[in-house]
C-alpha cells in the first residue's frame, strides 16, 4: 500500500464539515482523488464505518456515488448516511481486493455483504507419519504429513464415508499410541473393518496395497479397485476359499454403497465447487456443492448478511473472496451469476491456490445442470429459512409480551452449569435470536473458583456471569458490536435470578432483563414457573408456543453444558502425570507410554531407560527422572 496517499485521503476526509452529509461529502472528497487503485470507506456522523469498497480507479468509483439519482434503494440510503470518507491507495487491484476483505472482516460494516459462517470443512486424512498409515477425519490446517482428500460438506458426510471405507479397505483408524500398545486384535478386526496390522496379521506390503487402493478410490479411480476386488473374489471362489470370497463380496458391496451415497456424480467435472445464490426479501442463501474426483462430496448452505439488500452478483463476489480466505479453492468454480470483477477474483484465488483457478457461468450441458441444481437448492433453502424466520419473529414477540419486555429480544443468552458433586464443573451459554440458535456464539466456561469443588450452583452462576459481563464491559462497553444480550434466561428459580441480578448490578449492567425458569412443584415439563426480579412467579398455559420455545432453549443449554462436562471429564480420565512435565507434549507422551506401557512404569524407569525412548533427549530424560524423583 502507498501509505502517503492513504494518509492524504484520511486528511481530506476530515476536511469536510462535520454537519455535511450525503452527496455534498462525496463531491467534496472526489476532488482529492486520482485514478489509483485502492480501498475507500464511507463513515456516518459518529465515525462508524458504513461501507468498505475497492476500486480499480478510485476517482471513477467514488464519482458514481456523487450522482444525485439513479441509485438502488440500498445505495441511496448509504449515501444519505455518509458524513465522511477515507481512502487507502494500493499498488495493485489484487492488493485492493485483499485489503477490502480484511477490512470487511475486521469492521463488519452495515452495508457490506458479510459471510457469517467461519467454520472450516472436514477432510479425510491418510496420515503418513507411521509405517502403517492411519485413516481419519481431519479439520483445520493441513500441517500433518499425509494425503488429504476433501473438503466434505459436513462431519456427517465424512463419518459416513469413513465408515464405508473401513469396510472396503480395512485401514486402521486407531491412534499411534493405541496401535503400539495392542497385543491382540480389537473389535474392528472382528467385525471386518480393520486388517489388524498392529499385531502383524498383515505385513507392510499388503497394508500398503490397501492404502494405495483407498487413495485410488478417493482420487476418483474406483473402477480399477472394483475390478481388482472382483478378480480376487473369483479366484477365492475358484480355490474354494468361500469365507474369503464372501469377505471380498462384502467389500465390493460397501464400495458400491459409498459410490451410491455420493449423490450426483458428474462424469465431465473432476474437481469443482458449484456456487449458486438466491436473494429474496432482503436475505440470501448461497449453496455450495463440493465435487472432487468426479464425485459429489456434499453441499452446504450459507446465509450471508446481505448489506441491507445487495444484488446476487455482489453477494456472490463478496462470498467468494471471504469463503476462500482460509480454504484452498478448486481448479474450477461454477457460478450461478456473472460477477463484476471476475478477472481480479481469478487472480486472487489463483494466488491463494498456487495454480490457475477458473471462474465460469455455464450456459448449457452438464455443468449448467449442476448450477441449476445448486440454484434450486438455494431457492428452496431460503424459502424454508424465511418461513422459519417468520415463525421465530412471532415467538420472540410472544416472549416479549409474556415477560413484559419493551421489544422482542434480538439476542437471548441462556446459562446453565454441569458437574458431578463439584468435579469437572463447567458453565455453558447458548445464544438465540431472530434467526434461531446462533451456535457460533456458544461459550463454555471452566469453573476456576472454589465454587466448582464445593458444588455451589449459585456461586458457579455468579462466576460465569461475572466473567462474561466483565469481558463485555471491557471489549464493547457501548454495545457498538451488538454483543450485549436483550434477555438473560437462567435455568433456576428466585435464588438464581437474585444471584444473576446482583452480579449485573455490581458491574453496572443492571439494564439487562433477567428471567429464571424453574420446574413447578410437581417437577413436570409444562408446569414451569417464571421468575423475574420484583415480580411474583407466574406460569404460561401448557399449550403456549412461547412455553415450548423457552423449553427448547433450556433443553439446548442443558445439552451443551452436559456435553462440555463430559468432554472435560473424558480429558481428565486420560490425563497422566506426564502432562505436568515441561517439554513433554502429546508426541513425546505417546512415545513414553508406548515404550513403557503406563505412566507408572515411566515413573519407575531409570535414566538410561528414559534416554532409549525415541524423541527423548538426555536433558529431557533428566527432567522426567527428576520430576518423578522429586515427587517421591
- pLDDT tens digits for range 252-272: 776 666 655 554 567 788 899
- The CATH number linked to 620 is 1.10.150.20
State mean pLDDT over 602-610.
86
What are φ and ψ of residue 87, in 5° steps? -140, 150
pLDDT digits (tens, 9 = 90+) for 56-83: 999 999 999 988 888 888 889 999 999 9
The answer, yes or no, to whether residue 8 has pLDDT greater than 60, is: no
User: Are 61 and 32 part of one and the same domain?
Assistant: yes
User: Are 449 and 323 part of one and the same domain?
Assistant: no
pLDDT at 573: 56
DSSP code at position 455? T
User: Are 365 and 478 part of one and the same domain?
Assistant: no
User: Are 165 and 21 part of one and the same domain?
Assistant: no
pLDDT at 632: 38
pLDDT digits (tens, 9 = 90+) for 621-630: 888 888 887 6
Residue 597 lies in a domain: yes
User: Are 561 and 581 part of one and the same domain?
Assistant: no
User: Are 423 and 563 part of one and the same domain?
Assistant: yes
pLDDT digits (tens, 9 = 90+) for 198-251: 999 999 999 998 898 888 888 776 556 667 777 878 888 888 877 777 777 777
User: Are 466 and 542 part of one and the same domain?
Assistant: yes
Quick check: 177 and 593 in contact, CB under 8 A? yes
State mean pLDDT over 466-483.
84
User: Are 471 and 618 part of one and the same domain?
Assistant: no
DSSP code at position 408? -
What are φ and ψ of residue 239, in 5° steps? -85, 10
The answer, yes or no, to whether residue 27 has pLDDT greater than 70, is: yes
pLDDT at 12: 37
Q: Which of 60, 78, 107 is the last residue of a domain?
A: 107
Residue 401 lies in a domain: no
Residue 563 lies in a domain: yes
298: left (phi over 0), alpha (psi -120 to 50) or beta: left
- Tell me how far CA of residue 549 lies from CA of 75, 414, 442, in angstroms: 37, 12, 18
pLDDT at 226: 67
Residue 309 lies in a domain: yes
Residue 612 lies in a domain: yes
What are φ and ψ of residue 430, in 5° steps? -115, 155
pLDDT at 14: 37
**Structure-block grid coordinates of residue 402:** 409474556
pLDDT at 265: 64
- Tell me how far CA of residue 612 lies from CA of 454, 588, 605, 618, in angstroms: 44, 12, 11, 9
Q: Which of 261, 296, 327 is the last residue of a domain?
A: 261
* pTM metric for this prediction: 0.69
User: Are 444 and 521 part of one and the same domain?
Assistant: yes
What are φ and ψ of residue 287, in 5° steps? -105, 130
User: Are 563 and 434 part of one and the same domain?
Assistant: yes
State mean pLDDT over 13-20.
40
What are φ and ψ of residue 369, in 5° steps? -65, -40
User: Are 456 and 525 part of one and the same domain?
Assistant: yes
Q: For the chain, how many structural domains are there in total?
A: 5
What are φ and ψ of residue 316, in 5° steps? -65, -40
Instruction: Tell me the β-bridge partners of 291.
Output: 272, 296
Q: Which of 544, 572, 600 is the last residue of a domain?
A: 572
447: left (phi over 0), alpha (psi -120 to 50) or beta: beta
pLDDT digits (tens, 9 = 90+) for 358-373: 999 999 999 999 999 9
Model confidence band, residue 3 (pLDDT cutoffs 50, 70, 90)? very low
User: Are 508 and 604 part of one and the same domain?
Assistant: no
What are φ and ψ of residue 489, in 5° steps? -110, 120
Distance of CA 72 to the CA centre of its chain: 33
Residue 393 lies in a domain: no
Residue 402 lies in a domain: no
User: Taking Cα atoms as reference points, which of 9, 115, 128, 107 lies closest to residue 50?
Assistant: 107
- The CATH number linked to 306 is 3.30.420.340
Model confidence band, residue 19 (pLDDT cutoffs 50, 70, 90)? very low
Edge-to-edge strand order for the sheet containing 146-149?
Answer: 134-138, 123-127, 146-149
Instruction: Tell me the β-bridge partners of 55.
Output: 38
State mean pLDDT over 529-558.
90
Average pLDDT, the chain: 84
Q: For residue 606, what are the domain limits?
A: 577-631
- The CATH number linked to 60 is 3.40.1440.10
pLDDT at 579: 74
Residue 395 lies in a domain: no
Quick check: 360 and 370 in contact, CB under 8 A? no
Model confidence band, residue 285 (pLDDT cutoffs 50, 70, 90)? very high
pLDDT digits (tens, 9 = 90+) for 77-112: 999 999 999 999 999 888 999 899 889 988 889 899
Amino acid at each position: 500500500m502507498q501509505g502517503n496517499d492513504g494518509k492524504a485521503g484520511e486528511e481530506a476526509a476530515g476536511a469536510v464539515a462535520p454537519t455535511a452529509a450525503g452527496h455534498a461529502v462525496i463531491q467534496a472528497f472526489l476532488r482529492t482523488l486520482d485514478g489509483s487503485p485502492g480501498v475507500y470507506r464511507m463513515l456516518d456522523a459518529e465515525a462508524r464505518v458504513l461501507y468498505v469498497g475497492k476500486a480499480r480507479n478510485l476517482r471513477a468509483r467514488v464519482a458514481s456515488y456523487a450522482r444525485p439519482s439513479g441509485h438502488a434503494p440500498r445505495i441511496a440510503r448509504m449515501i444519505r448516511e455518509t458524513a465522511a470518507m477515507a481512502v487507502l491507495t494500493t499498488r495493485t487491484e489484487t492488493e485492493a481486493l485483499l485489503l477490502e476483505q480484511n477490512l470487511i472482516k475486521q469492521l463488519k460494516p452495515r452495508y457490506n455483504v458479510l459471510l457469517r459462517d467461519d467454520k472450516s470443512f472436514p477432510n479425510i486424512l491418510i496420515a503418513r507419519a507411521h509405517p502403517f498409515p492411519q485413516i481419519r477425519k481431519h479439520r483445520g490446517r493441513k500441517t500433518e504429513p499425509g494425503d488429504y482428500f476433501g473438503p466434505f460438506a459436513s462431519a456427517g458426510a465424512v463419518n459416513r464415508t469413513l465408515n464405508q471405507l473401513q469396510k472396503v479397505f480395512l485401514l486402521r483408524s486407531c491412534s499411534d499410541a493405541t496401535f503400539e500398545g495392542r497385543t491382540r486384535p480389537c473389535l474392528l478386526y472382528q467385525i471386518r473393518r480393520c486388517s489388524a496390522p498392529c499385531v502383524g496379521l498383515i505385513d507392510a506390503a499388503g497394508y500398503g496395497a490397501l492404502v494405495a487402493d483407498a487413495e485410488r478410490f478417493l482420487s476418483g479411480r474406483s473402477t480399477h479397485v472394483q475390478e481388482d476386488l472382483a478378480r480376487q473374489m473369483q479366484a477365492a471362489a475358484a480355490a474354494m476359499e468361500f469365507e474369503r470370497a464372501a469377505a471380498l463380496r462384502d467389500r465390493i458391496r460397501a464400495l458400491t454403497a459409498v459410490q451410491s451415497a455420493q449423490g450426483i456424480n458428474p462424469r465431465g467435472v473432476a474437481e469443482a465447487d458449484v456456487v449458486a445464490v438466491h436473494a429474496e426479501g432482503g436475505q440470501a442463501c448461497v449453496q455450495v456443492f463440493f465435487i472432487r474426483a468426479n464425485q459429489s462430496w456434499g453441499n452446504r448452505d450459507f446465509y450471508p448478511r446481505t448489506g441491507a439488500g445487495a444484488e446476487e452478483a455482489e453477494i456472490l463476489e463478496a462470498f467468494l473472496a471471504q469463503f476462500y480466505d482460509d480454504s484452498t479453492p478448486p481448479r474450477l468454480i461454477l457460478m450461478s451469476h456473472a460477477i463484476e470483477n471476475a478477472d481480479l477474483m481469478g487472480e486472487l484465488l489463483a494466488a491463494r491456490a498456487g495454480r490457475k483457478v477458473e471462474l465460469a457461468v455455464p450456459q448449457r450441458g452438464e455443468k449448467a445442470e449442476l448450477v441449476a441444481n445448486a440454484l434450486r437448492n438455494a431457492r428452496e433453502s431460503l424459502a424454508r429459512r424465511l418461513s422459519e424466520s417468520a415463525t421465530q419473529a412471532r415467538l420472540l414477540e410472544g416472549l416479549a409480551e409474556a415477560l413484559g419486555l419493551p421489544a422482542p429480544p434480538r439476542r437471548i443468552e441462556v446459562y446453565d452449569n454441569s458437574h458431578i458433586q463439584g468435579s469437572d464443573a463447567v458453565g455453558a451459554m447458548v445464544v438465540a435470536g431472530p434467526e434461531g440458535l446462533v451456535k457460533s456464539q456458544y461459550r463454555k466456561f471452566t469453573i476456576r473458583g472454589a465454587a466448582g469443588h464445593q458444588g455451589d450452583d449459585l456461586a458457579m452462576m455468579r462466576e460465569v456471569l461475572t466473567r462474561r459481563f466483565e469481558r463485555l464491559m471491557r471489549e464493547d462497553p457501548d454495545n457498538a458490536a451488538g454483543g450485549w444480550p436483550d434477555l438473560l434466561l437462567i435455568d433456576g428459580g428466585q435464588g438464581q435470578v437474585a444471584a444473576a441480578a446482583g452480579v449485573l448490578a455490581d458491574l453496572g449492567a443492571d439494564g439487562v432483563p433477567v428471567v429464571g425458569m424453574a420446574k413447578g412443584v410437581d417437577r413436570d415439563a409444562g408446569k414451569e414457573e417464571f421468575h423475574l426480579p420484583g415480580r411474583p412467579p407466574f406460569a404460561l398455559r401448557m399449550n403456549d408456543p412461547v412455553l415450548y420455545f423457552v423449553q427448547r432453549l433450556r433443553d439446548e443449554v442443558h445439552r451443551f453444558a452436559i456435553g462440555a462436562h463430559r468432554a472435560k471429564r473424558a480429558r481428565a480420565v486420560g490425563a497422566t502425570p506426564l502432562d505436568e512435565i515441561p517439554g513433554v507434549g502429546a508426541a513425546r507422551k505417546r512415545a513414553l507410554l508406548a515404550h513403557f506401557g503406563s505412566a507408572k512404569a515411566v515413573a519407575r524407569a531409570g535414566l538410561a531407560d528414559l534416554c532409549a525412548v525415541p524423541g527423548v533427549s538426555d536433558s529431557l530424560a533428566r527432567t522426567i527422572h527428576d520430576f518423578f524423583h522429586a515427587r517421591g
